[in-house]
Structure formats: C-alpha cells, structure tokens
Amino acid sequence: MKWATGLEFARARQAPWRSLLVWLILLGILLSGCSAPQQSTPQPGSSRTIINKGSDTLVNLALAWAEAYMALHPEVTISVTGGGSGTGLTAMLNGTIDLANASRSIKQEELDQAAKLGIEPIEYVVALDAIAIVVNLENPVDRITLPQLSAIYTGQITNWSQLGGDNLPIVLLSRESNSGTYVYFLENVIRLGDSDSKLLFAPDTLLMPSSEGISVEVRQNPNAIGYDGLGYVTPDQKVLAVAIDENSPYVKPSVETVNDGSYPISRELYMYTPGEPSGELAAYLEWIRTDGQELIPKLGFVPLIDEP
C-alpha cells in the first residue's frame, strides 16, 4: 500500500517538477554515458603507454619485445593482447589501440574503412614466420605435398591410408576465421595461390578458437592434422616436411629453410600504426626492427634478413 500512497503523493503534491527532475537526471546520465568513449581516443605515440593488440601468432613475440623494451626503458608501459589479426586492425581503426599486430597484410575493405575514418595505416614488416603442418606423434606420415594438403582440407582425402598412413579418418583442425593464419592458409595452401579459385575449407573442419586448442587436440588425437605458426609448435607434436609438388624436395620448416626460401609456406608478419608514429611508439618500432630482431629466433620465428 505504501507504493500507492507514494504514487498519489507524487501526483497530488509536488509532482510535476520533481518527477521531471528525476527523468532529466537520468537522461543526463544516459547522454554522458553515450558521449564518453569519443573523448578517450588515444593520441598515437604521444603517451608513454603503448597499447598493442592483434594476431595470436605474434602475441608471444610481441610480449617478449614489450618486456625487453620495458626493461630498457622503464618509463614506457606496453600492454600486449591477442585476439586475431582482424581484431587488432579493427581496434586500431576504432582508435582503441596504438599498434596492431597482424599475420596478414591489411585487407582492401579495412583500407577503405580507414580512408573513411581519415586514418592512414602504416605497415611494418617485423618478422618472418613459417606455417608448420602438425600431426600426432603416433602418426607414421611424415611428409606431404601442397596439392595433398589442399585435397585434405577440402574433404577429398579423408583417410590417412590415402597418404600412406594407418587406416584412420582424418580430423581437420583450423584456426578461427578471424585468424590471419586462416586466411593465409586458405589462399596459399587450399587455393594453391590461385586467386580465381573458389575452394573453401571443408564444412567438417574444426575451427579452434586458439593455437592452444589446436595443440591440445593434435597432442591427444592420432587422427588430427592442423596448421599453426612455427613459434607455436611444441615438441610433443610432429611437424611434417612439405613439398610444392611430388617432384620437389620435401622440406621441414626452420629458420634456415625460411630464409633461403625453400620451405614453401612462409609469410611476413606485420605491425600497423594509425598514421605516422611519433615519440615512444616510433622509437619502439625502430628498436623492434633493429635490436629487437635478436629475440625472434628464441620464439621460433625467423628474423628479417635485411635491415630495414
């Protein structure tokens, strides 16, 4: 009954202006909530905090760089998170980060969106990476050609016996579609670099939300085949030697074979800034591309040969 009295009280006595006031305050709170994010757009490079986000392939390397750089320059704070190349580039375009990591180069759509927002992304090649094809240690198969990989991932080869292995079904593992590795693998392995090709991953392909997801499944499942950046391959997985076709040499991924170009599935890894970097950000990028390169082999990636 209190409720009803209160209501009548509000109506009869001091009602109109008071309830109006409450609504106005509420409206004010709502509006201020809406406009707040626009004020927090960071100014690239001007602060001593660098927010770095993107490719899961690059995240460990980016973390190692950040830690080493922060040890050298204690006044700088660098935060690193993963999420995928697309995630990082989108965050950069939305103005929430200073530096995006990407395991693929920026897409035309993303460039279009950047132009719309008045941002001019600048690309830096920071390292090279091999994409390793991994299987379970128990799997007797130890080499494979690119056309075979394409046939496996489009669902034409479905049993390991077709590749000289045991009579077991093949379980296809892939990264999620927001991964730069996914796009690279589709374009260069499944479609064999043919830009007119319309081939896609077989619908049965398991999309794992993380590199760790692929490792866990490959480690315990003798049927599984997966792909991932060389830096993520642990010793309890078997890395296959890959050949361009049956008549070419089978090559295992390593720093040497990526540098001399004999391993067929390798790529450049990138960092992007929204516009010309300045201050700490510029210094950090310069360091990555010079002294920072020494850290790369420890994490299983391949350093740039030429100094930029």
Instruction: Give how far Cα 239 sits from Cα of 25, 69, 150, 172, 251, Å.
Output: 63, 32, 17, 15, 10
Give yes or no for a contact between 163 and 144, defined as CB atoms under 8 angstroms apart.
yes
The torsion of the CA quartet 142, 257, 107, 110, rounded to 10 degrees, works out to 110
67 binds other proteins (CB under 8 A): no
Considering the complex, what minimum distance in angstroms separates the CB of residue 144 from other proteins? 19
Question: Which residues on adjacent β-strands are paired with residue 165?
Answer: none
Question: Which residue among 125, 151, 192, 207 contacts other proteins (CB under 8 A)?
Answer: 207
Question: Which residue among 136, 223, 237, 273 contacts other proteins (CB under 8 A)?
Answer: 223
220 binds other proteins (CB under 8 A): yes
Residues 6+ apart with CB under 8 A from 108: none
Considering the complex, what minimum distance in angstroms separates the CB of residue 306 from other proteins? 32
How many CB atoms are located within 10 Å of the residue 4 CB?
Answer: 8
106 binds other proteins (CB under 8 A): no
Question: Which residue among 80, 146, 208, 242 contacts other proteins (CB under 8 A)?
Answer: 208
3-state secondary structure of 52: strand
Residue type, 21: L
Residue type, 57: T
273 binds other proteins (CB under 8 A): no
Instruction: Give how far Cα 220 sits from Cα of 135, 139, 234, Å.
Output: 10, 11, 13
Give yes or no for a contact between 84 and 295, defined as CB atoms under 8 angstroms apart.
no
176 binds other proteins (CB under 8 A): yes
Instruction: Give how far Cα 254 sits from Cα of 55, 130, 246, Å.
Output: 21, 8, 21
266-274 vs 99-102, strand pairing mode: antiparallel
274 binds other proteins (CB under 8 A): no
Considering the complex, what minimum distance in angstroms separates the CB of residue 229 from other proteins? 18
| Cα–Cα distance, 74 to 103 (Å, whole number) | 28
Considering the complex, what minimum distance in angstroms separates the CB of residue 24 from other proteins? 13
Site map for other proteins, 149-168, x if CB under 8 A? -------------------x
Considering the complex, what minimum distance in angstroms separates the CB of residue 141 from other proteins? 16
Q: Which of residues 68-87 bind other proteins (CB under 8 A)?
A: 83-84, 86-87
Considering the complex, what minimum distance in angstroms separates the CB of residue 86 from other proteins? 4
177 binds other proteins (CB under 8 A): yes
28 binds other proteins (CB under 8 A): no
Site of interaction with other proteins (CB under 8 A) = 2-3, 5-6, 8-10, 12-13, 22, 26, 83-84, 86-87, 90, 93-94, 109-110, 113, 168-171, 176-178, 182-183, 200-201, 203-209, 213, 216-217, 220-221, 223-224
